[in-house]
A = this chain, B = another copy of it.
Amino acid sequence: MITEGLKGRDFLRLQDFSKAEIETMLEMGLKLKADTVMRRNHDDILPRRTLFMMFFNPSLRTRNSFEAGIFQLGGHAHFLEPSATRLPTLEGEDLGYSSERISDMARVLSRMGDALAIRILGDVVDWEYDKSFRIIEEFAKWSHVPVINMEDNKYHPCQGMADAMTLWEMFGKDLRGRKIGVTWTYGSSPKKPIAPHHDFMYMASLFGADIVFARPPEMRIDPEIEAQVKANVEANGGSYEVTETLEDAFEDADVVYAKNYVCLDLLPPVTSKPEKEEMMKLFNKYKDWIADEKRMNLAKPTAQYMHCLPCERGAEVSDAVLDGKWGAACFNEAENRLHAQKGVMASIIP
């Protein structure tokens, strides 16, 4: 357990923290989860702290877990929708009275509260891959208080924390020897983010799992993340294998993480604009890529299905899987958003 160096830090990427720091924040989360089970009040941890949550995309889990979480710790969250404020802009993108420069918003909000959390991805930034994280970084640059990334096009570190907590609860902290199948699945819209895959694999590899990643040849992930995953298994005793056969991810797996995500090669910067029709044509070649009963039966008898939710039933996963014996981990994973983020907030918010 790390006792210093966390207070006041931004939480932008898992990659910004050492394994020991991540472990500490997860342990704090589990400690607070135990308190919650016993209804032990811990509102003395962040008393009267204000968290500003800026959402540029819809959210159920993220918003509610942060709002409930900071409240349980003694604070209060402001739910800020773009419709109720002005659009935050980078230098050179100002739109007169309907926008406000990020440097100004960040400096103002950080004078009025104690942390700033931001979700921005997808359509809102015209799918410019790097832009959403650049916006979050710009907030962090100007903010005097910690900034938390609630998901951009590339990273979803809060989800990664919840995923790791869920894996720990099933297998303990050491995932060596555990086979974790990860797959792309079909989905009926060209909009589902890839960030959850990135951070799920980052975390599974950080704790030494044997990852088998199945996806159609066109559905690569970010090579920078892939390199980090490889480095992680090298350092921590796991393995990473890529396959184009869906079933490879299921066979004898302890966990299968199966979810749709966008095709990076049909989005900027590879293309000049999002090629959504092309993407749906591509997806439609792989309509049978779904986590169904037949495939889950290839996994270990105790295997669990994971997905960050919301899932598209009938496309990504069958009702039988999600509502059957394989689905429990998925709802634990959702609940752990609350506990994992409380661990993060309790560790970094001064």
Partner of A111, one of B41, B91, B109, B335: B335
In this complex, how many residues of chain A approach chain B with their Cβ under 8 Å: the count is: 63
A107 touches B331 (CB 8 A): yes
Taking CB atoms, residues of chain B closer than 8 Å to A94 are 312-314
Taking CB atoms, residues of chain B closer than 8 Å to A100 are 60, 309-310
* Residue interface bits A279-319, CB-to-B below 8 A is 1, else 0: 00000000000000000000000000000011111110001
> What is the minimal beta-carbon distance from A284 to any residue of chain B, in angstroms?
14
Q: What are 20 residue pairs bridging A and B, where the CB atoms are less than 8 Å apart in the complex?
A: A43-B48, A50-B68, A50-B72, A58-B85, A59-B84, A60-B105, A60-B109, A63-B84, A67-B78, A68-B78, A71-B76, A81-B83, A81-B84, A83-B83, A86-B310, A94-B314, A97-B310, A97-B312, A104-B322, A112-B337
Interface residues of A, Cβ cutoff 8 Å to B: 41, 43, 47-48, 50, 52, 55, 58-61, 63-65, 67-68, 71-72, 76, 78-81, 83-86, 91, 94, 96-98, 100-101, 103-105, 107-109, 111-113, 187-189, 191-192, 309-315, 319, 322-323, 331, 334-335, 337-338
Taking CB atoms, residues of chain B closer than 8 Å to A72 are 48, 50
Taking CB atoms, residues of chain B closer than 8 Å to A52 are 64
Cα(A112)–Cα(B337), bound, Å: 9
Taking CB atoms, residues of chain B closer than 8 Å to A59 are 84-85
Taking CB atoms, residues of chain B closer than 8 Å to A68 are 50, 76, 78, 112-113
Report the nearest B residue to A60, measured CB to CB.
Answer: B85
Cα(A105)–Cα(B61), bound, Å: 9
Integer count of this chain's copies in the complex: 3
Taking CB atoms, residues of chain B closer than 8 Å to A108 are 60-61, 309, 331, 334-335
Taking CB atoms, residues of chain B closer than 8 Å to A109 are 60, 64
Taking CB atoms, residues of chain B closer than 8 Å to A84 are 55, 58-59, 63, 79, 81
Cα(A191)–Cα(B96), bound, Å: 10
Cα(A78)–Cα(B62), bound, Å: 13
A97 touches B314 (CB 8 A): no
Which 6 A-B residue pairings sit nearest by Cβ, starting from the closest? A111-B335, A100-B310, A97-B189, A96-B188, A50-B68, A108-B334
> What is the minimal beta-carbon distance from A322 to any residue of chain B, in angstroms?
8
> What is the minimal beta-carbon distance from A111 to any residue of chain B, in angstroms?
4
Cα(A267)–Cα(B315), bound, Å: 35
A96 touches B315 (CB 8 A): yes
Taking CB atoms, residues of chain B closer than 8 Å to A187 are 96-97
Taking CB atoms, residues of chain B closer than 8 Å to A83 are 58, 81, 83
A41 touches B50 (CB 8 A): no
Taking CB atoms, residues of chain B closer than 8 Å to A312 are 94, 96-97
With A68-B112, A310-B86, A313-B101 already in contact, the answer to whether A96 and B48 are too (CB < 8 A) is no
Taking CB atoms, residues of chain B closer than 8 Å to A188 are 96-97
> What is the minimal beta-carbon distance from A307 to any residue of chain B, in angstroms?
10
Given contacts A68-B76, A97-B312, 8 further A-B contacts (CB under 8 A): A43-B47, A50-B67, A59-B85, A64-B80, A67-B76, A68-B78, A98-B189, A101-B313
